[in-house]
């Protein structure tokens, strides 16, 4: 089988780490001889994914592996004159590009196709019409895929309603191994705490659905309820802070874009993890909070509940006072730790990176020529 694993369209966010960890697992399996059914392996990656990978030097892996690093501006929209691969798996997609293989598979991660009814983007009528048209085009492009892989039953059900003839597999996400390392030393990027200050970590880009704008309202309500400071540590770019109007908001501690290890260090150094996002196909952050043994305060949305069940503290992501009350209920560190311990069995049952890779590979092997 001529197999292509495509991560050339992944430029940002948690998808970088997930794709990099999967490709690392694939290379481990190839070195162990577990991919003898693959005659030619092509890894198409963005520079960001390559930088996150541990196994970057493929010179000793043999001539049957090709490693293609895409330039940052590349979008694979150029039609192929022939089908270059037997199977091509776009790890995070869909790409909405042309077919390049006999079988095209994609890990579905485009939540914009299923916006929640209570999510109102701050856009004008013309932009809204453009997004509506774009969604229709994307749904049509979905039909070209021979199979889709999702991470939660909720997203699988939504896709099956729209594409009942498309095979869909559910492969749960998994936290990166570094989040299990409780011996990581604290990060150097965080300022000293004030007395009684509570710190929550929110690793996310500055997209509207990530709901950053509600954070300052939540921290204000928290101060009213407890008399103590609540600080949220974010990973936004400088231009995102500016566009969101958060540059002068004192309840934010922004560390900018960071890699997996620094992300784990900050999570271990915080009192909990915060996840108010309004719309996701799934996210590794809730699972990483479990791995790091940190309480999770999350939006009451099905993409979180599918993954965490009762292992998170849920709040209405459109109600700042509800969020502040839920967080203030766990102001006491002993109570936070009791919640973590109560859900300790969840940590032991988390899928590993290797198990997730095996599940992906099982799907691919089903298309052996």
pLDDT value for 44: 86
Residues 162 and 271 in one domain: no
pLDDT value for 263: 92
First to last CA, the chain: 7
- Four-CA torsion 209, 267, 190, 227, nearest 10 degrees: 70
Query: What confidence tens digit (pLDDT) does each residue in 69-91 have?
Result: 554 333 444 444 456 889 999 99
- What is the DSSP track for 94-109? -------EEEEEEEE-
Residues 27 and 144 in one domain: yes
Residues 11 and 146 in one domain: yes
- Helix 215-226 with 320-328: angle, nearest 10 deg: 50
Task: Report strand pairing: 147-150 vs 101-108.
Answer: parallel
Other C-beta atoms lying within 10 Å of the C-beta of residue 309: 10
Q: Which residue has the higher pLDDT, 156 or 208?
A: 156
Residue 184 pLDDT level (bands cut at 50, 70, 90): confident
Read off the tokens for 85: 């691969």
Q: Render the burial of 1-37: b for 16+ CB within 10 Å, e for the rest.
A: bbbbbbbbbbbebbbbbbbbbbbbbbbebbeeeebee
Of residues 259, 235, 261, 255, the one with CA closest to residue 181: 261
Residues 164 and 202 in one domain: no
Domain count for the chain? 2
For the cut 50, the answer to whether the pLDDT of residue 62 exceeds it is no
pLDDT value for 312: 96
Task: Supply the CATH number for residue 195's domain.
Answer: 3.40.50.2000
Query: What confidence tens digit (pLDDT) does each residue in 258-268 have?
Result: 888 899 999 99
Other C-beta atoms lying within 10 Å of the C-beta of residue 220: 15
Residues 33 and 159 in one domain: yes
Residues 103 and 208 in one domain: no
- 155: exposed, middle or buried (Cβ count in 10 Å: 0-12, 13-18, 19+): buried
* Mean pLDDT of all residues belonging to the chain: 85
**232 beta partners:** 200, 252
Q: Region 241-262: what's the mean pLDDT?
A: 85
Q: Is the previous residue joined to 94 through a cis bond, with omega within 30 degrees of 0?
A: yes
pLDDT value for 96: 62
Of residues 106, 92, 85, the one with CA closest to residue 42: 85
For the cut 70, the answer to whether the pLDDT of residue 182 exceeds it is yes
Residues 246 and 360 in one domain: no
Residues 209 and 317 in one domain: yes
Read off the tokens for 123: 């856009």
- Residue 32 CA to residue 324 CA, distance in Å, equals 50
Other C-beta atoms lying within 10 Å of the C-beta of residue 245: 11
Task: Supply the CATH number for residue 132's domain.
Answer: 3.40.50
Residues 167 and 190 in one domain: no
Residues 335 and 192 in one domain: yes
Residues 215 and 296 in one domain: yes
CA distances from 67 to 32, 36, 223, 313 (A): 19, 18, 52, 42
- Helix 15-31 with 353-365: angle, nearest 10 deg: 70
Of residues 150, 3, 6, the one with CA closest to residue 69: 6
pTM of the complete model? 0.81
Domain residues for 261?
177-348
Residues 232 and 251 in one domain: yes
């Amino acid at each position: 089988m001529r197999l292509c694993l495509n991560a050339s369209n992944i430029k940002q966010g948690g998808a970088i780490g997930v794709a990099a960890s999967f490709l690392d697992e694939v290379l481990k399996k190839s070195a162990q001889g577990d991919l003898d059914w693959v005659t030619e392996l092509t890894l198409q990656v963005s520079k960001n994914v390559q930088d996150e990978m541990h196994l970057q030097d493929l010179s000793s892996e043999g001539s049957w592996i090709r490693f293609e690093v895409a330039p940052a501006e590349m979008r694979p929209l150029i039609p192929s004159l022939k089908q270059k691969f037997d199977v091509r798996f776009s790890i995070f997609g869909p790409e909405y590009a042309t077919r390049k293989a006999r079988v095209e598979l994609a890990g579905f991660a485009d939540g914009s196709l299923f916006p929640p009814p209570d999510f109102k983007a701050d856009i004008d009528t013309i932009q809204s019409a453009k997004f509506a048209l774009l969604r229709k085009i994307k749904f049509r492009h979905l039909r070209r895929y021979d199979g889709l892989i999702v991470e939660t039953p909720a997203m699988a059900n939504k896709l099956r309603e729209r594409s009942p003839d498309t095979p869909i597999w559910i492969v749960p996400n998994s936290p990166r191994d570094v989040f299990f390392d409780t011996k990581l030393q604290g990060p150097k990027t965080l300022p000293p705490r004030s007395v009684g200050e509570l710190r929550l970590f929110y690793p996310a880009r500055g997209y509207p659905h990530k709901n950053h704008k509600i954070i300052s309202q939540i921290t204000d309500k928290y101060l009213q309820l407890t008399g103590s400071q609540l600080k949220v540590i974010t990973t936004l770019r400088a231009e995102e802070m500016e566009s969101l109007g958060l540059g002068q908001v004192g309840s934010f501690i922004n560390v900018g874009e960071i890699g997996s290890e620094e992300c784990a260090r900050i999570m271990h150094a915080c009192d909990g993890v915060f996840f108010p996002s309004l719309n996701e196909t799934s996210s590794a952050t809730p699972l990483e909070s479990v791995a790091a043994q940190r309480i999770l305060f999350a939006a009451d949305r099905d993409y979180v509940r599918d993954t965490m069940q009762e292992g998170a503290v849920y709040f209405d992501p459109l109600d700042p006072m509800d969020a502040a009350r839920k967080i203030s209920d766990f102001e006491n560190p002993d109570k936070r730790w009791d919640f973590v311990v109560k859900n300790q069995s969840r940590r032991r049952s988390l899928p590993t990176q290797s198990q997730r890779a095996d599940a992906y590979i099982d799907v691919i092997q089903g298309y052996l020529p």
